[in-house]
Chains A and B, each alone.
Chain A
Amino acid sequence: MGTRNYRRKTSHSEHGPGDGGRTGSWRVERPVLNTSLCIPCKRNAEACFMCWLFCPEVVISRTIPPAIDLEYCKGCGICAEECPTKAITMVDEADFTDEDKDKE
Chain B
Amino acid sequence: MHIIENGNVAAALGVLLCRVNVIAAYPITPQTPLTERLSEYVESGEMQAEYIPVESEHSALAVCIAASSAGARTFTATSANGLLYMHEQVQWAAGARLPIVMCVVNRAVGAPWNVWNDQQDSISQRDTGWIQMYCSDHQQIIDAVIKAYWLAEKVSIPIMVCYDGYILSHTYMPFDVPDQEKVDAFLSPFRPDYALNPDQPANLNTVTLPDVRMDVRGELAHGYMEIRYLLQEEMRTSLTVAAEAEKRFADIFGRGGDPYIEPYLCADAQYIAVGLGSLTYQLRVSVDVLRKEGIKVGVMGVRFYRPFPDEALAEALKGKKGVIVFEKALSYGYEGALVSDLKSALYDHLAGTGVMPMVQNIILGIGGRDIRTEDLTQALRAAAKSRVSRQPVWIGLKL
Report yes or no: A13 in contact with B227, Cβ–Cβ below 8 A.
Answer: no
B216 at the interface (CB under 8 A from A): yes
- The chain A residue sitting closest to B224, CB to CB, is A11
| Known pairs A6-B221, A6-B222; A11 contacts B205 (CB<8 A) | yes
Instruction: Give the chain B neighbours of A12 by CB distance below 8 A.
Output: 194, 202-205, 221
Instruction: Give the chain A neighbours of B193 by CB distance below 8 A.
Output: 8
Report yes or no: B95 in contact with A10, Cβ–Cβ below 8 A.
Answer: yes
Interface of A is mostly: loop
How distant is the Cα of A20 from the Cα of B211 in the complex, in angstroms? 11
Instruction: Give the chain A neighbours of B221 by CB distance below 8 A.
Output: 3, 6, 8, 12-13
Instruction: Give the chain B neighbours of A3 by CB distance below 8 A.
Output: 212, 220-223, 226
Report yes or no: A1 in contact with B220, Cβ–Cβ below 8 A.
Answer: yes
How distant is the Cα of A17 from the Cα of B218 in the complex, in angstroms? 11
How distant is the Cα of A15 from the Cα of B216 in the complex, in angstroms? 8
A14 at the interface (CB under 8 A from B): yes
- The chain A residue sitting closest to B155, CB to CB, is A9
Among B97, B201, B212, B224, contact of A14 (Cβ-Cβ < 8 Å): B201
Instruction: Give the chain B neighbours of A9 by CB distance below 8 A.
Output: 97, 156, 227, 230, 234
A24 at the interface (CB under 8 A from B): no
Which A5-58 residues have C-beta < 8 A from chain B? 6-21
B293 at the interface (CB under 8 A from A): no
How distant is the Cα of A15 from the Cα of B202 in the complex, in angstroms? 6
Total contacting residues, chain B, CB less than 8 A? 31
- The chain A residue sitting closest to B220, CB to CB, is A3
B126 at the interface (CB under 8 A from A): no
A: interface residue count bin:
10 to 19
Digitize B23-56: 1 where CB-to-A-CB distance is under 8 Å, 0 elsewhere.
0000000000000000000000000000000000
Among B201, B220, B227, B234, contact of A11 (Cβ-Cβ < 8 Å): B227
- The chain A residue sitting closest to B211, CB to CB, is A21
How distant is the Cα of A9 from the Cα of B224 in the complex, in angstroms? 11
Report yes or no: B203 in contact with A19, Cβ–Cβ below 8 A.
Answer: yes
Which of B97, B206, B207, B215 counts the most chain A CB atoms within 10 A? B215
B217 at the interface (CB under 8 A from A): yes
B209 at the interface (CB under 8 A from A): yes
Known contacts A11-B204, A13-B216, A15-B201, then 16 further A-B pairs from the complex at CB < 8 Å, ordered by chain A residue: A2-B226, A3-B220, A3-B223, A3-B226, A6-B220, A9-B156, A9-B230, A11-B205, A12-B194, A13-B203, A13-B206, A14-B201, A14-B203, A15-B216, A20-B213, A21-B213
Chain A interfacial positions (CB closer than 8 Å to B): 1-3, 6-21
Q: List 27 contacting pairs A-B, 8 Å CB cutoff, sorted by A.
A: A2-B212, A2-B220, A2-B226, A3-B221, A3-B222, A6-B219, A6-B220, A8-B194, A8-B221, A9-B97, A9-B156, A9-B234, A10-B96, A11-B205, A11-B208, A12-B194, A12-B202, A12-B204, A14-B202, A14-B203, A14-B217, A15-B201, A16-B216, A19-B203, A19-B215, A20-B213, A21-B209
